[in-house]
Structure 1
Amino acid sequence: MKSAPASDLPFMDAFAAPSQEAWRAAVDKVLKGADFEKRLVGKTADDIRIEPLYEAASPALRPLRGEAGRWHVAVRLDHPEPAEAQKLALADLEGGADFLSIAFAGARAARGYGLVADDVAALDASLDGAMLDLIRLRLDPAPQGRVNALLLAALVEKRGLSPDTLTIDFGLDPIGLLASQGSLAAPWPEIGRRLADTVRALKARGFAGPFITADARPWHEAGASEAQELGAMLATAIAYLRALENEGFPLEEARDAISFVLVADTDEFLTIAKFRAARLLWQRVQQACGLSPKPMILHAETAWRSLTRRDPWVNLLRGTIATFSAGIGGADSLIVQPFTAALGLPDGFARRVARNTQLVLLEEANLWRVADPAAGAGSFEALTLALCEQAWGVLQGLEQRAADGLPGIVAALASGTVQADLAKQREARAKAIATRREPITGTSEFPNLKETPVAVLAVAPVGRPTPRTELRKASEQDQGDLIDQLAGGATRDAALSAPEDSVQAQALPSQRLAEPFEVLRDKADAAPQRPVVFLATLGPIADFTARAGFARNLFEAGGLSAPSGGGFAKDGVTDIAALVAACTASGARLACLCGSDAAYAAEGRAASQALTTAGATVWLAGRPGDMEAELNQAGVTSFIYAGGDVIEALTRAHAIVAA
């Protein structure tokens, strides 16, 4: 009887395992004296080191999803008109989705659109044909979120469904609304009372929840780093835990009432680590509260800030990476932003591609079949733990801001501390975007000036709902009675409460990373004719191709056409007269010299003088080095090179071509 092999891969035993020292010696040989740290070690926005090589880690027992198997394919119901919203929703459900996220008008996630439903009849029409006991529902946090929750509960009652057979996340998130819109509907103690009353009323009807959402999206859209996003999300959840506990809820019930929303971005490693860290951190919070930990309910959404309006087809790649990362990281459900979302309300095709992105990864790639694929991978384990440490520090910092009866996260928003911290992150990232250290494919790199437009629905934005002015105080309203009134046909105004003096804060901005480049592209597109930059190439084509390609890519990122031909070489030198004639014929006010260092030394001065005499402003592609003063004297006014501020250069270029 043969003995079992020592390894599943016995042939690997023939090779000696290399040591870290041997690997480092080989790397140093290749680097030839270059700085190891600068070349091979990266840093995250939280200053976490990303090493080029990690040793295998011993996987530890980690909190996983509460429900084994596939994550849920979610789509957003956000068309303003109930009948049209219903058609889109049914197409999504028939096409493989099993989770509807309802974004009422005014919801941040609706981006100026959102379902307009002032009564149960309108909400019922938007969900006509949807079997609510076979799918999952979630309300996106929105103004009048309490009323939206009561409307949905009233719809369930009207349809005669048993709440205990349904899975509904009611999405109440007043802190998220404070961050997004700059105010609470009432003082914080009153907000806690209203939350508790609404949760009690819904539980009394048989709904299991969750009822409250700790939503990280406002922080992410405002530029938060991974640790800031996690810390703010957890601080929000802790504020809700305390609010419900103060209103008499046992901590276990308060914990079970909360769900989470986290953003999946285009950095695969950090997104996977972030989702894994979120579960570890929530487990730690529960332990600190003396609770026996339960898995968090973790919804995911691909990043709004990574979407582009230019070359939106690249958003398909961004969405795929984010979907993969959220799935591997352990999301319970996921919404993929349709690739045209930054341009308007997505049509059926864009929605179909978004949900199919998930279905392909579920059904064909089978990503869901392993509970934690990253377990034991040194890089993911190290990043997960580093993010936990950083996020816990952010959480503690926010908790220390508690003052005047306000929880830490609310007090930090009211004082402007959060806004200042996020502004620093936005500034740092904006610099990385402007210098293309963080390139945006199709926007800052490899732009396409001949892109064809994509289709979106012809729907006008709807804005926020406007209630009537004479309203009852919230303390005079019984939530259970309101559900009955709404089920009987009352409008949402019956459930609104009178405004009260409340906490105010500077609203967090919602910014996409590509916006600075898109502003320049829009400016160029608005011109009667597309502005042109003349690429004044020196020497034979083999000598100028690299820098001409760099310059064309840079100028086209701002919408400026920069065609290059076969050059002006003649008998081994540049025909400067022909070059100047071509520049004049192009009508370009800006000319950019493109060539090798040797060509700049031999012909740069003469070419610049000739172009300047002909009336062109002259730039040069590349770093000038010792020739800078000489080239400046010859007429070169600016230099473009890798690592320079492209936004600043393009802004100046626009001013020149428009003069």
Structure 2
Amino acid sequence: MCKGAQTVTPDDLPLAADFPKAQLEDWRKLVDGVLKGAPFEKLVGKSYDGLKIEPLYQRAKDKAPVMGRPPAAPWQIMQRIDHPDAGVANAQALTDLENGATGLALVFAGGNGSHGFGLEPTAEAVAKVLKDVHPDAGIAIELQVGPQSRMAAIQVAEYVKTKGIDPAACNIRFGLDPLAACAVWGHSPYTWDEIKPAVASGIKGLAGLGFKGPFASTDGRVVHDAGGSEVQELAFVLACGVAYLRAIEDAGVSLEQAQGMVYARFSADADQFLTMAKFRALRLLWARIEQACGLTPKPLFIAADTAWRMLTQRDPYVNMLRATMATFAAGLAGANAITVLPHTLALGLPDAFARRVARNTQLLLLEESNLAKVSDPAAGAGGIEGLTSELCDAAWALFQEIEKAGGAFAALQQGLFQSKVAATRKAREANIAKRRDVLTGASEFPNLHESKTVVLSARPVALSPDGGGKHKFEALAPIRLAAPFEALRDKSDAILEARGARPKVFLANLGSPADFTARVTFAKSFFEAGGILAVDSDGFTDPAKLAAAFKASGAAIACLCSSDNVYGDQAEAAAKALQAAGGRHTYLAGRPAEAETALRAAGVAGFIFAGADALATLQDVYQRTEQV
């Protein structure tokens, strides 16, 4: 600084004073000008719970942070251990811990999140998997078990005891969760009154050995995996959590002690704002339950998994982006532990590369982006605060409805809860079919020439039959949203292998590239999402040349692509020429409502456009071309 220079403060440069303060009303006037008479509600989105998502929010004032993890504390980087061969699983676990993971999620066969694989639930397998792993060295361990692997908790506890390790020095979440298992399996051999004492006895036994827990898991993933909404996932977690608190208290444990014996599992997906709001809402709702119990609220431990239902088998590398966004949202919202599902999990057991990417997704966000350095950065953000509040209100109302029905188990027996999840899943599947909810690489922007993805070869553990149960109800079966489109891609692959060529659609482009390029791009993505290879062409003005090019393409169907103006001049003649050339079915990219009757009379049998049921159209293509 030069001699005699003075310090300049913001007050000395009142640049902002030259501009008027921004007002919401001023913004609305500008928006109305762009909408040109269209209703403002066109810009208002809705969640699957019917919650409004406004295009703009004002700052939420006087909002305190929703505290989860201690300030500046990183979340636990959990790595999924699910290889059926215990020796291989052990090698994977040691590699993960040596390369940045701070915890292991031991997924046992038959568990809610096993997805076809998982560890063998035997004492010998547990000992092999944990060989050279030191549970008392600050490593977090989480158990994910099911009805056929429920003894894994005891087996892990006995392993710790035989190794002479102090249970109090271990950080083990035992994952006892019979309610979630009942929901997934759709039956139970026992009533809840019969289950409660067994759960409480198991928890008291583990606590008596000196383990600090938590012991019981309330797992919202089962709702998310089944296609449920944020409100439904929240309400299920609350209902199951309260049921476990009551069971523990009935066994003679004080609520103050029981408070730390229950934790939550949540799914995090690629919807950043709803995911953040959902995690924040859970903390607020659980604190409300603690207060109702006469307890001083303590932060609930929340373990997050990136969502199963958002994984795709096709173009699986996009799953890396989805997982990154989900991890970002869960981390910022205060998750205590996060498990990233490897990007190839929907195809089989992930190899070393996929596992490394899953680890590094978290390491980059923690070590390079420093996401954990700020506690609840969403505090005061109008949009997320608004969504958090709305989720709290709606989830609390559904939780009360479940309680009035007799609790979580009774609500499952009555089908009350499953009917709500089924309705949401149906709406979600309809939007996937119409491509309103986009799945990049599956329903949009497919790659028919992608290389085969490498996964490990392993034989799943053979479990003894579950045995069913006398108490049966509708199951919350897990789904993947991309599966219907992937089924069509599988058909295409089978045809390619059997006949040497995929089903084809000829893109009958009319006019110049300026006329047809936009709709060609749309049509190519539309058809190839179902495995129908789009054969491109130059623009045509002569119907005879168009017909000749169609014949030469070897395609059985065609799709006219151009602008509405060109359609008015050429579409009818082009459709007739294609039909005369042997086209079994002609589509038109667009929706010229006034000309539809004339176009259909000329041979156009279907229209493809944004918002159309793409899945039904693609299924119809296979039926019409008799390629299946």
Mark yes or no: TM-score above 0.5.
Answer: yes
Q: 1:376 to 1:18 in 2, by over 3 A?
A: same
Q: Is the 8 A contact 2:85 2:119 kept in 1?
A: yes
SS in 2 for 1:55: coil
The match for 1:632 is 600
C-alpha distance in 1 between matches for 2:189 and 2:108: 17
Partner of 2:96: 92
CA-CA distance at 1:67 after TM superposition: 3.5
Q: How far does the alpha carbon of each residue in 1:132-174 deviate from its partner, in whole angstroms, 9 at most, with x for none?
A: 1120111013224541111010000111100011111100000
Please tell me whether the aligned partners of residues 106 and 463 of structure 1 are also in contact (alpha carbons under 8 angstroms): no
Match of 1:343 in 2: 347
Map 1:568-579; keep pairs closer than 5 Å.
568=540, 574-579=541-546
Please list, as runs of the form range in 1=range in 2, the aligned pairs for 1:61-72 lying within 5 A after superposition.
61-68=64-71, 69-72=73-76
| Matched residue, 2:572 | 605
SS at match of 2:533: coil
User: Is 246-255 or 72-81 further displaced after alignment?
Assistant: 246-255
Which residue identity is paired with 1:559? Answer: G
Measured after TM superposition, the shift of residue 117 of structure 1 is 3.9
Q: Tell me, what secondary structure is at the counterpart of 1:342?
A: coil
Which residue identity is paired with 2:486? E
Task: Give the deviation of 1:567 after TM superposition.
Answer: 2.2
Write out aligned runs for 1:401-440 (5 A). Answer: 401-402=405-406, 408-440=407-439
* Cα distance change on mapping 1:8 and 1:281 into 2, 3 Å: farther
The reply to whether residue 168 of structure 1 matches residue 172 of structure 2 is yes
**Is residue 2:50 matched to residue 1:82?**
no
Percent of aligned pairs with the same amino acid = 48
Matched, 1:614 2:618: no
Structure 2 Cα separation of the partners of residues 154 and 635 of structure 1: 74
Structure 2 CA distance, aligned partners of 1:548 and 1:377? 41
Candidates 312, 319, 331, aligned match of 2:316: 312
Tell me the TM-score normalised to structure 2 length: 0.95
**Is the 8 Å Cα contact of residues 419 and 506 (structure 1) preserved in structure 2?**
yes
Deviation digits for residues 10-51 of structure 1, max 9, x if unmatched? 64444332111111111111222222111x211111111111
Please give the alpha-carbon distance, in whole angstroms, between the structure 1 residues aligned to 2:396 and 2:328.
Answer: 26
**Partner of residue 643, structure 1:** 611
How many pairs does the alignment contain?
Answer: 616
State the match for 1:586 in structure 2: 553
- In structure 1, C-alpha distance between the alignment counterparts of 2:468 and 2:513, rounded to whole Å: 71
Q: State the distance in 2 between where 1:348 and 1:59 align.
A: 47
Q: Distance in 1 between matches of 2:15 and 2:210?
A: 60
Using the TM superposition, give the Cα deviation of residue 587 of structure 1 relative to its aligned residue in structure 2, in angstroms: 1.8
Amino acid at match of 1:504: K
Distance between the aligned counterparts of 1:7 and 1:419, measured in 2? 60
Superposition pairs of residues 135-534 of structure 1, within 5 angstroms: 135-402=139-406, 408-466=407-465, 503-527=471-495, 528=499, 529-534=501-506
Post-superposition CA distance 1:567-590 (Å, at most 9, x none): 23xxxxx12111101111222111
Do the aligned partners of residues 579 and 66 (structure 1) sit closer, same or farther apart at CA in structure 2, a change above 3 Å counting?
A: closer
User: Would the aligned equivalents of 2:187 and 2:468 in 1 still touch at CA under 8 Å?
Assistant: no
Residue 539 of structure 1 pairs with residue 511 of structure 2: yes
Indicate the SS of the match to 1:562: strand
* SS in structure 2 at match of 1:286: helix
Partner of 2:527: 555
Instruction: Give the alignment's Cα RMSD to 1 decimal.
Output: 1.9
For 1:60, the equivalent position in structure 2 comes to 63
State how far apart, in whole Å, the 1-side matches of 2:263 and 2:511 are: 64
SS at match of 1:207: coil
Report the 3-state secondary structure (helix = DSSP H, G, I; strand = E; otherwise coil) of the residue aligned with 1:108: coil
Provide Cα deviations, 1:541-582, integer angstroms capped at 9, x if missing partner.
2211111111111000000001213223xxxxx121111011
Classify 1:4/1:277 alpha carbon distance in 2 versus 1 (closer, same or farther; 3 Å). Answer: farther
Cα distance in 2, alignment partners of residues 436 and 463 from structure 1: 39
Q: Is contact 1:188–1:502 with CA below 8 Å preserved after alignment?
A: no
Alignment check: 8 A CA contact 1:103 1:142 kept: no
Distance across 2 between alignment mates of 1:315 and 1:398: 34
Instruction: Assess if the C-alpha contact under 8 Å between 1:340 and 1:350 holds in 2.
Output: yes
Return the offset for 1:657.
Answer: 2.3
Q: In 2, Cα distance between the equivalents of 1:289 and 1:189?
A: 21
Aligned-partner SS, 2:477: coil
Deviations 1:301-349 (A, max 9, x none): 1010000000000001000000000001110000011000100011111
Give the drift of 1:502: 5.3
User: What per-residue deviation string (whole Å, max 9, x for no partner) do you get for residues 230-259 of structure 1?
Assistant: 011100101111112222221122222101
Cα pair 1:443 1:557 within 8 Å, conserved: yes
Change (3 A) 1:10 1:229: farther
Alignment CA distance shift 1:237-1:23 (3 Å): same
8 Å contact from structure 1 (residues 539, 567) kept in 2? yes
TM-score (structure 1 length as normaliser): 0.91
Letter in 1 for 2:591: R
Q: Take 1:600 and 1:461, find their aligned partners in 2: how far apart are those partners?
A: 56
Shift in Å, 1:209? 0.7
In structure 2, C-alpha distance between the alignment counterparts of 1:463 and 1:437, rounded to whole Å: 40
Query: Does the 8 A contact of 1:112 with 1:463 survive in 2?
Result: no
Query: Residues of 1 paired with 2:120 and 2:39: CA distance?
Result: 58
* Greater shift in the superposed pair: 184-193 or 199-208: 184-193
